[in-house]
């Protein structure tokens, strides 16, 4: 039975993955590690929650040995917009942190999950049906760390036999923990704004189409990949996975089906618009579907219904329309 360490456990993916894996494998077999111990009471109350800096390799090694870890979901990372504003810090966390994890995995035999992203592609990449193997010349520091991360994980697999596996995630939408500084964050903020204010001011153009995925599908994909037969994996780092492709005006139209008075305004942020335009519109994820049975469950209507239902409870918002807790 797996004994798992999750780095970046207090982040958007990590917080939900920790709870899901504790339910699946048992609370004492899933150790959460974040750099902000105080920010998640539920993680602290449902199992071990450590606090260390991912740039401290010794701290990772100590945690792996103390808890007899055999699998590391390495989620600690700065996201695209924050990374563009802090490139040196982003390189240190996203690359030096990953190298620390891979070195510990090489020494201890741990398997490693690495989250790559559509951010690993750039404007020269075919933007429609983006192939599994294609040109990757991202223009953001975040994207550079994701391509370098994919190559580093493949290197540790080929050179040292470390069982590394990864996914190129699209924008992820969730209701539990807000994302921390990504270019696709509008697709989360919009649901909160629809319920709290009845309107949202979007920082991307109305027609900026991007790959997206609801968090339950992202968690299922990560676990399915890590449980897959390694002999059947034609790729390691990293598989394209997607669930839907939409633009801000698509998600606004879907929200209006449930909140008819919802109003969308646009105030484009040049930085985040330029990042989004450098990414593909939709990926070809046929390799993940054939190699390990990837199938998303949520499309835009299903995600919108669930997001609004979950957030109405979280925000104590009225059933009809928006304008819940201010
Ligand atoms: C970001 N949410 O916006 C992340 C993700 C595909 C985007 O990598 O940086």
Which residue puts its alpha carbon closest to atom 4 of ligand 1? 182
pLDDT over 70 at 87, yes or no: yes
Catalytic residue list: 142
Helix (H, G, I), strand (E, B) or coil at 317: coil
Mean pLDDT of 280-308: 98
Tell me the C-alpha distance between 77 and 277, whole Å. Answer: 22
Which tokens hold the place of 39?
């920010």
pLDDT score recorded for residue 1: 73
Helix ranges restricted to H, 141-229: 141-160, 186-196, 215-227
Please, what is the Cα angle at 16 between 14 and 19, to 5 degrees?
Answer: 105
Nearest to 165 by CA among 181, 175, 154, 180: 154
Banded model confidence at residue 39, pLDDT cuts 50, 70, 90: confident
pLDDT over 70 at 323, yes or no: no
User: Which atom of ligand 1 is least distant from the CA of 210?
Assistant: 6
Banded model confidence at residue 326, pLDDT cuts 50, 70, 90: very low
**CB of 165 closer than 8 Å to CB of 236:** yes
Q: What is the dihedral of CA 187, 190, 195, 201, to 10 degrees?
A: 180
pLDDT score recorded for residue 324: 43
Helix ranges restricted to H, 233-315: 248-256, 270-277, 286-292, 300-315
- Burial state string for 248-270 with b = 16 or more CB within 10 A and e = fewer than 16: bbbbbebbeebbeebebeeeeee
Nearest to 239 by CA among 174, 157, 277, 294: 294
Ligand 1 geometric centre to CA of 127 (Å): 16
Banded model confidence at residue 325, pLDDT cuts 50, 70, 90: very low
Ligand 1 geometric centre to CA of 143 (Å): 9
Q: Is the peptide bond before 107 cis (omega within 30 degrees of 0)?
A: no
Which of 16, 78, 80, 125 has the most ligand 1 atoms within 8 A of CB, as the residue to mutate?
80
Which residue puts its alpha carbon closest to atom 7 of ligand 1? 171
pLDDT score recorded for residue 180: 81
Tell me the C-alpha distance between 285 and 118, whole Å. Answer: 12
- How crowded is residue 156: how many other Cβ atoms within 10 Å of its Cβ? 24
Ligand 1 geometric centre to CA of 183 (Å): 6
118 Cβ closer than 6 Å to some ligand 1 atom: yes
Helix (H, G, I), strand (E, B) or coil at 319: coil
Q: What is the pTM of this model?
A: 0.95
182 Cβ closer than 6 Å to some ligand 1 atom: yes
Mean pLDDT of 238-255: 98
Contacts of 28 (CB under 8 A, 6+ apart): 47, 48
How many whole angstroms from its chain centre is CA 51? 20
Q: What percent of the chain has pLDDT over 70?
A: 97
pLDDT over 90 at 189, yes or no: yes
Ligand 1 geometric centre to CA of 247 (Å): 15
Q: How far is CA 248 from CA 194, 254, 266, 312, in A?
A: 13, 10, 9, 21
pLDDT score recorded for residue 197: 96
Mean pLDDT of 176-200: 93
256-284 pLDDT tens trace: 999 999 999 999 999 999 999 999 999 99
Ligand 1 geometric centre to CA of 28 (Å): 30
pLDDT score recorded for residue 35: 87
Which of 81, 115, 142 has the most ligand 1 atoms within 8 A of CB, as the residue to mutate?
142
Mean pLDDT (the chain) is 95
């Amino acid at each position: 039975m797996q004994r798992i360490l999750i780095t970046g456990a207090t982040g958007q993916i990590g917080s939900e993955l920790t709870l899901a894996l504790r339910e699946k494998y048992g609370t004492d077999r899933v150790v959460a590690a974040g750099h902000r111990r105080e920010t998640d009471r539920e993680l602290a109350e449902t199992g071990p929650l450590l606090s260390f800096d991912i740039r401290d390799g010794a701290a990772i090694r100590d945690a792996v040995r103390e808890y007899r870890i055999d699998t590391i979901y390495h989620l600690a990372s700065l996201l695209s917009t924050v990374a563009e504003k802090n490139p040196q810090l982003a390189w240190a966390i996203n690359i030096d942190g990953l190298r620390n994890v891979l070195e510990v995995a090489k020494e201890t035999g741990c398997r490693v999950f690495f989250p790559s992203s559509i951010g690993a592609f750039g404007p020269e990449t075919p933007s429609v049906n983006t192939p599994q193997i294609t040109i990757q010349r991202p223009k953001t520091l975040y994207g550079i760390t994701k391509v370098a991360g994919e190559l580093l994980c493949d290197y540790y697999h080929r050179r040292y036999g470390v069982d590394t596996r990864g996914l190129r995630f699209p924008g992820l939408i969730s209701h539990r923990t807000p994302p921390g500084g990504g270019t696709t964050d509008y697709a989360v903020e919009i649901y909160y704004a629809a319920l709290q204010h009845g309107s949202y001011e979007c920082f991307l153009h109305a027609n900026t189409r991007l790959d997206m995925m609801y968090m339950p599908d992202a968690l299922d994909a990560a676990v399915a990949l890590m449980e897959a037969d390694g002999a059947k994996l034609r790729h390691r780092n990293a598989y394209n996975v997607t669930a839907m492709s939409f633009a801000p005006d698509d998600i606004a139209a879907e929200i209006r089906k449930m909140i008819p008075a919802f109003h969308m305004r646009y105030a484009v942020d040049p930085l985040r618009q330029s990042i989004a335009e450098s990414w593909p519109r939709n990926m070809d994820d046929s390799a993940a579907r054939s190699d390990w049975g990837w199938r998303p469950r949520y499309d835009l209507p299903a995600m919108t219904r669930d997001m609004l239902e979950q957030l109405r409870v979280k925000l104590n918002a009225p059933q009809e329309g928006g304008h819940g807790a201010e």
